[in-house]
């Protein structure tokens, strides 16, 4: 890796860890999700311990939503916005961690393959 690219990767990693917004990087395909990375603030927002492995942080799993239609609406709205260049603010959805309700307003930047 070139020194310039290495510096950019390190800068992104520091930003990812320090930003006071929950950042989720992963995939959602139907009922299945896979988390590639979750920053400390996202873990805090959803009640996970700071040392929880990123792969175990799954804020968009179907069983985390009190209302299954809220999850479907969130994913549909975000997917529809994927073709646009601006960020879309999605509908408020109710999520739960160990039967404790949590409210989150995701503002995802989605990319589809």
Model confidence pLDDT, tens digit, residues 40-89: 999 998 889 999 999 999 988 888 888 889 888 888 887 776 554 344 33
Q: Cβ(17)–Cβ(39) under 8 Å?
A: yes
Instruction: Give domain 3-104's CATH number out of 3.30.780, 3.30.1480, 3.30.450, 1.10.3470.
Output: 3.30.450
| pTM of the shown model | 0.66
Best CA proximity match to 74, nearest among 100, 108, 97: 108
Q: Cβ(23)–Cβ(38) under 8 Å?
A: yes
Q: Which residue has the tokens 């873990």?
A: 43
Model confidence pLDDT, tens digit, residues 77-109: 877 765 543 443 333 344 444 445 555 555 555
User: Phi, psi (5° rounding) for residue 91?
Assistant: -60, 145
Give the Cα separation of 9 and 17 in Å (integer): 12
- Residue 8 reports pLDDT greater than 60: yes
Model confidence pLDDT, tens digit, residues 19-41: 888 888 888 888 889 999 999 99
Residue 111 pLDDT class (50, 70, 90 cuts):
low
């Amino acid at each position: 890796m070139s020194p310039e690219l290495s510096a950019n990767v390190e800068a992104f990693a520091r930003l990812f860890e320090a930003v006071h917004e929950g950042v989720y990087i992963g995939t959602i395909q139907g009922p299945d999700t896979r988390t590639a990375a979750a920053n400390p603030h996202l873990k805090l927002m959803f009640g996970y311990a700071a040392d929880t492995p990123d792969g175990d942080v799954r804020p968009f799993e179907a069983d985390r939503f009190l209302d299954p239609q809220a999850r479907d609406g969130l994913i549909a709205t975000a997917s529809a916005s994927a073709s646009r260049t601006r960020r879309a603010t999605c509908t408020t959805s109710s999520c739960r961690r160990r039967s404790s309700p949590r409210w989150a307003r995701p503002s995802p930047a989605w990319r589809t393959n």
